[in-house]
Amino acid sequence: MAKIRMDVWGRTEVEPNFNVKPLTPYETDMPEGGTGAIYQRFFNRAACMVHRTTIGSDNGRKTIKVEVGYGNWADRATLEYEEAGNYPKYKEVVD
């Protein structure tokens, strides 16, 4: 299996606009109760980059934590995530 580079949004290096943020997400999964993690993907692919946003509080202030992980959209709750600020601009993934 070949390895390809995929940007943080989910485009492969051979696609137009590699490393450019899409205008809108393809799909957003929000918790029904309004609390918990919000998951987003920007392209309709089973294996994709998933963005997880968690809203919390720290000393009475609201905090927002954005993380990025790669894997199957169906497994988004159990993927390994890294903070978005520390995530590389692209990741080598198996095609």
In the prediction, which pLDDT does 63 show?
Answer: 85
In the prediction, which pLDDT does 75 show?
Answer: 96
Range of the domain at 76: 23-87
In the prediction, which pLDDT does 33 show?
Answer: 75
| Residue 37 lies inside a defined structural domain of this protein | yes
| Residue 11 lies inside a defined structural domain of this protein | no
| Residue 4 lies inside a defined structural domain of this protein | no
In the prediction, which pLDDT does 84 show?
Answer: 81
Global pTM reads 0.83
| Residue 7 lies inside a defined structural domain of this protein | no
Rounded to 5 degrees, φ, ψ at 16 are -60, 150
If one counts the domains in the chain, the total is 1
Asked if pLDDT for residue 1 goes beyond 80, the answer is no
Report residue 27 as tokens.
């799909």
Q: Using alpha carbons only, give the angle 39, 40, 42 rounded to the nearest 5 degrees.
A: 165
pLDDT in tens, 28-87: 999 887 678 999 999 998 899 999 999 887 788 888 899 999 999 999 999 999 988 777
Query: Residue 9 pairs with which residues in a beta bridge?
Result: none
Asked if pLDDT for residue 18 goes beyond 80, the answer is yes
Give all strands (DSSP E) within 15-46, no chain letters: 27-29, 37-41
Closest residue by Cα to residue 42 from 28, 53, 52, 32 = 28
The band of 2, judged by pLDDT with boundaries at 50, 70 and 90, is confident
| Residue 92 lies inside a defined structural domain of this protein | no
